[in-house]
Amino acid sequence: MVRVENLTKSYGDVRALNGVSFVVKRGEIYGLLGPNGAGKTTTIKIIVGLLKPDSGNVSVLEHSPVDEPVEVKRLVGYVPEEVYLYDSLTVREFFEFVASVRGQTGDVLGLVETLVKSFEIEDYYDYPIAALSQGTKQKVAIIAALMHRPPILVLDEPIKGLDARSARIFKEIMQLHIQNGGAIIFSTHIMDLAENICTRIGIIHKGRILAEGTMQDLKKMVDESAGTLEEVFLELTREKEEIAHIVEELKRGLL
């Protein structure tokens, strides 16, 4: 459903992406896993059409985000890492605005009401967005991404700021989405989260995909006895020895 081929992107002298390629299939939650600054957000912004790559191509259900941005926006529900909403609107007005921009009719309101109740934000429906907590704003952004029932979800650290109940509900929504034949790209730096919910994982580091596959595939690349994704990640990025050295330095300084 999504094909990314040899993406490169630089910001001045800094090479953010250096030949990133991967494919996301129907029914998959593809985890884009890496530390801050690895290239996750740049990759996602190119996929949804917010940035143009220096070179390489992206296909979203055979549509180009560069050449067909409107069509790609129709196909994708996007939750950005940093949520920016219209602070002067109420939550209700914001959802109505999003529906009008997308040309949706009244039939979307039933889904919105279900999601609003699920995330327990009914009491804030007529509050201005500026008055909401960051976690509540995150819920509003998630609902806005889901309300046009897109086949593809592109999620950049979407659970950041959510309480445990809402995070669990969102994980259930993700599972329902792929069961219904959708696909998800899920960017995170939280190892446990990626290990628990992603069907395949691409490890991105310094603008490159170092490895990808299921958890078992990744373990085979390093050591099948590796117990966690964190251990696999540190082996693949060659940071395990560096961390061991830092720990020894800390012991000498602190103990």
Largest CA distance in the chain: 65
Mean pLDDT of the chain: 89
**What backbone torsions phi and psi does residue 216 show, to the nearest 5 degrees?**
-65, -40
What is the pLDDT averaged over residues 23-45? 93
Mean pLDDT throughout 106-130? 89
Distances (CA, A) of 154 to 30, 134, 145, 204, 248: 10, 20, 9, 16, 40
Range from 111-115, 140-144, 241-245 carrying the lowest mean pLDDT: 241-245
The yes-or-no verdict on residue 184 having pLDDT over 90 is yes
Q: What's the half-sphere exposure (Cβ side, CA atoms, 13 Å) at 69?
A: 8
- Token pair for 246: 């830092």
List domains and CATH numbers for the chain: 2-213 (3.40.50.300)
pTM (2 decimals)?
0.88
| Average pLDDT over every residue of 169-194 | 91
Residues 6+ apart with CB under 8 A from 115: 142, 143, 146, 147
Q: Give the model's pLDDT for residue 106.
A: 65
- Per-residue pLDDT at 223: 67
pLDDT tens-digit series, residues 73-82: 999 999 998 8
For residue 255, pLDDT over 60 is answered with: no
Give how far the C-alpha of residue 142 lies from the chain's centroid of Cα atoms, to the nearest Å. 11
